[in-house]
Amino acid sequence: MIRMRTIEISVGAFVLAGILCLVFLAFRVSGVGVGSTSGTYTLLAKFDDVAGLRVRSKVSLAGVTIGRVAKIGVDSELGEAIVTMEINNDVKNLPIDTGARIQTEGFLGGRYVSLSPGGEEKTLQNGDTITNTQGAIGLESLIDQFIGKMGSK
Amino acid sequence: MLRYLRLLGQWALDWIGALGRATLVWFWSMAGVPQRDDLKLLVKQVYQIGVLSLIIIILSAFSIGAVLALQGYTQLARVGAEESVGLGVALVLLRELGPVVTGLLFAGRAGSAITAEIALMKATDQLSSMEMMGVDPLHRIAAPRLWAGMISMPLLTLIFNAVAIGGAALVGVDWLGVDQGGFWGGMQDGVEWWEDIGKGMIKTVLFAMVISWIAVFQGYDSTPTPEGMSIATTKTVVYSSVAVLALDFMLTLVMYGEFK
Amino acid sequence: MTDNLIEIEGLRFSRGDRIIFDGLDLAVPRGAITALMGPSGTGKTTLLRIIGGQIRPDSGRVVVNGHDVPSLSRGELFELRKDMGMLFQSSALFTDLSVFENVAFPLRVHTDLPDEMIRDLVLMKLNAVGLRGARDLMPSQLSGGMSRRVALARTIALDPKFIMYDEPFTGQDPIAMGVLVSLIRGLNESLAMTSLVVSHDIHETASIADQLYIISDGRVIGEGTPDMLRDHPSTMVRQFMLGSPDGPVPFHYPADNFLDDVLGDA
C-alpha cells in the first residue's frame, strides 16, 4: 500500500511537470515573449494583390520579423486591399517612403510583408499608410513571365 | 421487418434513458458541498488517474514525435523544405495529435480503470453499503474521479506535446541534421499561442470532461456481475474513443474551418 | 404488546413484469431478533433495501421508528441511517482501506471526533468481534469469516439501534458460523438492539431468533416462533422448516411426461 505522503509528492510533481511543459510550449515552441515585450503601433498599406497573405503573417524588415498582419480589408471603390499591420515599438523610425512588398518564404512557403526603408527624413507615425507598395507575385504570373521571356528568344 | 424496427426503437429509447441517467449522475456528483475529506480523495484519484498514466503517455509521445519528424523530413526534403519540419510537427501535435492521442490513451488506460473499479464496487455492494451508512457514493466515489480526470488529462496533454516535440527535435536536429536554428526558429515563428496551443487545450479539456463522464457513468450503471463489469469497461473504451474522434472533428471544423 | 420498531403494511413492489411483494405485512418488535426466511429469489434483500430507504415501494406503509420511510427526504434519510446498520452478504468492505480504516469510516463521516477518540472506538469495536489484532490487514488478506466480522464491527461503529443482517451465515465453516451466531445474539443483548436477520439457514437462525417470518410469493405465509412453525398448518412452511426436497415447492422443473420424452427419440 503506497503511503499517502508519496502520493501527495508524486501528484505535486505531476502538476509541476505539466506546468513546466506549458512554459516550454509557450516560450520555446510558440515564441511567446520573443520581441513582444514592447507595445506596437499600427501602419497601413494598400496593395493591388495580397493573394496568400493571411492575418498573423509576419512583417519583416531586412529579414527580421518586426510585426504581424492584424487585419486584411478591402477598398471596393479603388479595388485595392488594405493591410493593417502591428509594428513593434522598437522599430520607430521608418521613413515615409518605406516600401512594402508581399513576398514568399522559400519556394512553397507562406507570404509575408517585407519592408524596405526609403531615404526621406520624415518618419511614419501610428496610423500612417505606406504608399510605395508592390503586390504579391503569383506563381502563375511568374510562370507566364518566364514563358514570355522564353518565347521571345 | 417490423420486429427490427421495434428493436431499433427500443434500443434508441434505452440509449436516451442511459443518457438521462448519465446526466443525473454527473449533476449530483458535481453538486454537493465540499467536505473535509474531499481534497484527500481528489489527490488520491489524481495519482491513480494521472500519475499512473504518465509512463504510457511519455513513451507514446516520444515515439509519435520521432516518427512524425522522420516522415515529415522525408516528404519535406523532396521539395527542399526540411527546415519546416519543426513547424509542421509542432502544428500537427498541438492542434490535433496531442489532444486526440492523449484522449484515446487516457480512455484506454485511465477510463477503463475507473469503470472497472466502480463496477467492482457496485458488484460487491460497496456502493450500497456506503449509501446505507449515510454516505453519498456520488460525492465520495464519482465526484473525485470526475474532477481528477478533468485535471489530469490536460496536464497529460501538455506533457505529451512537450515530450513529442522534444522527440521530434531529437530525431530532426540530432539525427537527421536539420539546422537547429531553422528547426526551432521556424517553429516559433509559425506556432501561435492562442491559435495552436490555446485551441488545442480547449479540445483537451472538453475531451477530459467527456471521457471522465463516460467512464464514471459506465461503472455506476453496470450490471453487478463479472460479465457486467467487462461489458462496462469495453463500453467505456469504445464510447470514449468514438466520442473523442467525433468531437475532434466538430471542434476542428468550428475552430479552424474557414467558411466562405 | 411490545413496541414495534418497524411496521410494514400492505407492501407492494414490482420490478418490470415480476411482482416481488404482493401485500406483505410484518412487524419487527424492539429489542428482539426477528428472522426473515424463505426460498431463494423471494426478494428478501429487496425488502431490506426498502426498509433502509434505498428502494421505494409501489405502495404500502413502511414505518421505521415512527418515520414513514418512503416519504423521507435525502437529509432525513441520512439522519435515519445513522441509527441503522446493515451487514451485507458480501461484507462489502472497502477494498482500498485497511481493516482499521474500514471500521473508522462511519465515525469519520458522521462525527467530528478527534483521531485519538476514533482510534479508541475502532479498537473497542474490533475487540467486540475479536479482531483487534487484525487492524492493519487489508480486506484482500482476510478470510470470508473474518471479513464478515470486520464488517460487523463497522456496522456497530456508531452504536446503531437496529441492524439488518443479509444472509450472514451463508458459506461459512462451522466455527465461523458459531462465532457469528454468538456475536449476533451477544450484541443484540448487550447493546439492547433490534436485529433483523435474513437467512436460509434454518438451524442457525432458529437458534437465535425470537420470531420468524416465512415469505413466499411476495407475502408472509407463516410467522411465529421456530417451534410454532414446525407444526404449522401450511405444507409449504413445513417443507421449508424441514428442508424436504419435494412438496409445494416441486423437485422437478416443469417438463413433459418423462417416458414420452425419453422414448420419443427412439
Torsion of CA C131, C136, C141, C145, to 10 degrees: 20
Question: Among residues A56, A62, A138, which one has the least CA distance to residue A94?
Answer: A62
In a domain? residue B1:
no
> What pLDDT score does C96 carry?
83
> What pLDDT score does C109 carry?
82
**Same structural domain, A121 and A65:** yes
> What pLDDT score does A72 carry?
85
| Between C262 and A106, the higher pLDDT residue | C262
Q: How much is the pTM? A: 0.78
Does the beta-carbon distance from A25 to B158 stay under 8 Å? yes
The minimum CA-CA distance between A120 and chain B, rounded to whole Å, is 31
Residues of A whose CB is below 8 A from B180: none
> What pLDDT score does B66 carry?
94
In a domain? residue A105:
yes
Contact A83, A72 (CB under 8 A): yes
Does the beta-carbon distance from C92 to B128 stay under 8 Å? yes
Chains within contact range of chain A (3+ C-beta pairs < 8 Å) = B
What sign does the dihedral C162-C43-B116-B118 (CA atoms) show?
negative
Mean pLDDT score of chain B:
89
**Same structural domain, A82 and A66:** yes
What number of C-beta contacts closer than 8 Å exist between A and B? 84
How many domains are contained in chain A? 2
Tell me the pLDDT tens digit for each residue of C235-253.
777 777 777 777 777 778 8
Does the beta-carbon distance from B79 to A107 stay under 8 Å? yes
Please indicate if any CB of chain B lies within 8 Å of the CB of C168.
no
Chains within contact range of chain B (3+ C-beta pairs < 8 Å) = A, C
In a domain? residue A52:
yes
Least confident of A26-40, A51-65, B185-199: A26-40
At CA A53, angle to CA A50 and CA A57, rounded to 5? 140
The minimum CA-CA distance between C206 and chain B, rounded to whole Å, is 26
Which residues sit opposite C166 in a β-bridge? C198
The minimum CA-CA distance between B199 and chain C, rounded to whole Å, is 38
In a domain? residue B15:
no
**Same structural domain, A56 and A26:** no
| Between C247 and B140, the higher pLDDT residue | B140
At residue C68, φ and ψ (nearest 5 deg) are: -85, 100
The minimum CA-CA distance between B8 and chain A, rounded to whole Å, is 45
Reply yes or no on whether the pLDDT at B150 is more than 60.
Answer: yes
What average pLDDT does this structure show over C121-136? 89
Question: Among residues A152, A43, A54, A67, which one has the least CA distance to residue A104?
Answer: A54
**In this structure, what DSSP letter does residue A95 have?**
B
At CA B105, angle to CA B101 and CA B106, rounded to 5? 110
> Residue A96: pLDDT band by 50, 70, 90 thresholds?
confident
In a domain? residue B203:
yes
Nearest chain C residue (CA) to B36: C109
What lies within 8 Å, CB to CB, of B82 at 6+ separation is B73, B76, B176, B178
B248-251, long-range: CB within 8 Å, 24+ apart, which pairs? B248/B96, B248/B99, B248/B100, B248/B103, B248/B203, B248/B207, B251/B202, B251/B203, B251/B206
- Beta strands A64-75 and A80-88 are antiparallel
Reply yes or no on whether the pLDDT at C116 is more than 70.
Answer: yes
Tell me the pLDDT tens digit for each residue of C191-222.
888 999 998 888 888 888 888 888 887 788 88
Please indicate if any CB of chain B lies within 8 Å of the CB of C106.
yes
Of the candidates B121, B124, B135, which has its C-beta nearest C109's C-beta?
B135
CA C49/CA A107 separation, integer angstroms: 75
> What pLDDT score does C188 carry?
87
Tell me the pLDDT tens digit for each residue of B202-248.
999 999 999 999 999 999 999 989 999 999 999 999 999 999 999 99
Mean pLDDT score of chain C:
84
Least confident of B170-179, B229-238, C121-130: B170-179
**Same structural domain, A115 and A129:** yes
Does the beta-carbon distance from B188 to A109 stay under 8 Å? no
CA A134/CA C196 separation, integer angstroms: 94
In a domain? residue A27:
yes
What average pLDDT does this structure show over A42-59? 80
Contact C34, C8 (CB under 8 A): no
Nearest chain A residue (CA) to B163: A21
Give, for C84, the enclosing helix (H) or strand (E): strand C84-87
In a domain? residue B12:
no
Classify A124 as helix, strand or coil.
coil
CA C168/CA C155 separation, integer angstroms: 13
At CA B52, angle to CA B47 and CA B56, rounded to 5? 150
**Terminal CA-CA length for chain B:** 44
Reply yes or no on whether the pLDDT at B3 is more than 80.
Answer: yes
**Same structural domain, A53 and A30:** no
At residue B154, φ and ψ (nearest 5 deg) are: -60, -40
Contact A35, A88 (CB under 8 A): yes
What average pLDDT does this structure show over C98-123? 89
**Same structural domain, A44 and A113:** yes
The single residue listed with the C-alpha cell 462489502 is C92
Does the beta-carbon distance from B47 to A109 stay under 8 Å? no
How many domains are contained in chain B? 1
> What pLDDT score does C130 carry?
86
**Same structural domain, A57 and A10:** no
Most confident of A98-102, B250-254, C247-251, C257-261: B250-254
Q: By CB neighbour count within 10 A (0-12 exposed, 13-18 middle, 19+ buried), where does B231 fall?
A: middle
Reply yes or no on whether the pLDDT at C266 is more than 70.
Answer: no
Q: What interface predicted TM-score (ipTM) does this complex get?
A: 0.81
Q: Write out the DSSP string of C45-58.
A: HHHHHHHTTSS--S
| Between C36 and C245, the higher pLDDT residue | C36
| Between C14 and B66, the higher pLDDT residue | B66
In a domain? residue A55:
yes
In a domain? residue B119:
yes
- Beta strands A58-61 and A129-130 are unpaired
In the structure, how many helices (H) and strands (E) does chain B have?
12, 0
Residues of C whose CB is below 8 A from B131: 54, 81
What average pLDDT does this structure show over B91-95? 91
> What pLDDT score does C103 carry?
92
Of the candidates B121, B124, B132, which has its C-beta nearest C86's C-beta?
B132
Contact C247, C253 (CB under 8 A): no
Cell of C220: 408472509
**Same structural domain, A49 and A26:** no
- Give percent of chain C above pLDDT 70: 98
| Between A34 and C145, the higher pLDDT residue | C145
What average pLDDT does this structure show over C133-162? 88
The minimum CA-CA distance between C111 and chain B, rounded to whole Å, is 12
In a domain? residue A152:
no
> What pLDDT score does B136 carry?
82
Question: Among residues B36, B103, B89, B98, which one has the least CA distance to residue B239?
Answer: B103
**Same structural domain, A85 and A122:** yes
**Terminal CA-CA length for chain C:** 67
| Between A119 and C155, the higher pLDDT residue | C155
Reply yes or no on whether the pLDDT at B260 is more than 50.
Answer: no
Domain hosting A13: range is 1-34
Residues of B whose CB is below 8 A from A67: none
Least confident of A87-96, A130-139, B236-245, C126-135: A130-139
Q: Classify each residue of A30-46 as buried b or exposed e, where b means 16 or more C-beta atoms within 10 Å of its C-beta.
A: bbbeeeeeeebbebbbb
**Same structural domain, A90 and A71:** yes
Does the beta-carbon distance from B43 to A24 stay under 8 Å? no
* C window 64-83, beta carbon within 8 A of B: 77-79, 81-82
Does the beta-carbon distance from C89 to B125 stay under 8 Å? yes
Residues of C whose CB is below 8 A from B134: 77-79, 81-82, 106, 109-110
Nearest chain B residue (CA) to C165: B129
> What pLDDT score does C1 carry?
38
In a domain? residue A153:
no
**Terminal CA-CA length for chain A:** 86
**Same structural domain, A108 and A66:** yes
Of the candidates B81, B90, B195, which has its C-beta nearest A108's C-beta?
B81
What average pLDDT does this structure show over B26-53? 85
- HSE at residue A150, side-chain half, CA atoms within 13 A, is 6
**In this structure, what DSSP letter does residue A145 have?**
H
Domain hosting B182: range is 35-255
**Same structural domain, A30 and A59:** no
Contact A70, A42 (CB under 8 A): yes
| Between B86 and B249, the higher pLDDT residue | B249
Residues of B whose CB is below 8 A from A13: 51
Please indicate if any CB of chain B lies within 8 Å of the CB of A38.
no
Does the beta-carbon distance from B94 to A14 stay under 8 Å? no
